[in-house]
């Protein structure tokens, strides 16, 4: 089973309104992933998690190329901070970031 971790820099939106959630793009990404799952293009493997200075999302349920396409689309969403990358693993484990790193957007 291939799992692709999508690592997005945990960057707050510039000048959020007082009391506003500084990372509204996380909700946008979760909505995007729910839509991708509904399309049948990929499955969300696990809930997103904060890991150091990044927020990590997990997708599986398709071939690597299709999962990297989902990761590339995610990285291009409006409001998602620049600098996202993917980590591809054939053996999902408890340790995040173990696998082959792929810069996003991934080459077709």
User: In sequence order, what are the residues at sequence separation of 6 or more whose Cβ sits closer than 8 angstroms to the Cβ of residue 2?
Assistant: 60, 62, 63, 64, 67, 88, 89, 90
Q: What is the pLDDT of residue 17?
A: 82
Reported as a pLDDT band with limits 50, 70 and 90, residue 87 is very high
Per-residue pLDDT tens over the stretch 1-20: 899 999 999 998 888 788 88
User: In the predicted model, is pLDDT for residue 66 greater than 90?
Assistant: yes
User: In the predicted model, is pLDDT for residue 92 greater than 80?
Assistant: no
Q: What is the CA radius of gyration of the chain?
A: 13
Burial zone of 20 (CB within 10 Å; 0-12 exposed, 13-18 middle, 19+ buried): exposed
Per-residue pLDDT tens over the stretch 32-59: 999 999 999 999 988 999 999 999 999 9
Domain 3-13+21-91+99-103 has CATH 1.10.1040.10: no
């Amino acid at each position: 089973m291939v799992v692709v971790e999508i690592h997005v820099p945990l960057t707050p939106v510039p000048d959020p309104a007082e009391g506003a959630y500084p990372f509204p793009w996380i909700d946008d990404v979760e909505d995007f992933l729910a839509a991708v799952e509904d399309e049948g293009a990929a499955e969300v493997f696990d809930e997103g998690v904060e890991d150091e200075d990044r927020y990590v999302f997990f997708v599986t349920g398709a071939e690597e190329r299709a999962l990297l396409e989902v990761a590339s689309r995610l990285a291009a969403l409006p409001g998602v901070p620049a600098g996202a990358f993917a980590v591809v693993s054939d053996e999902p484990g408890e340790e995040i970031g173990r696998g082959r790193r792929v810069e996003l957007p991934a080459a077709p």
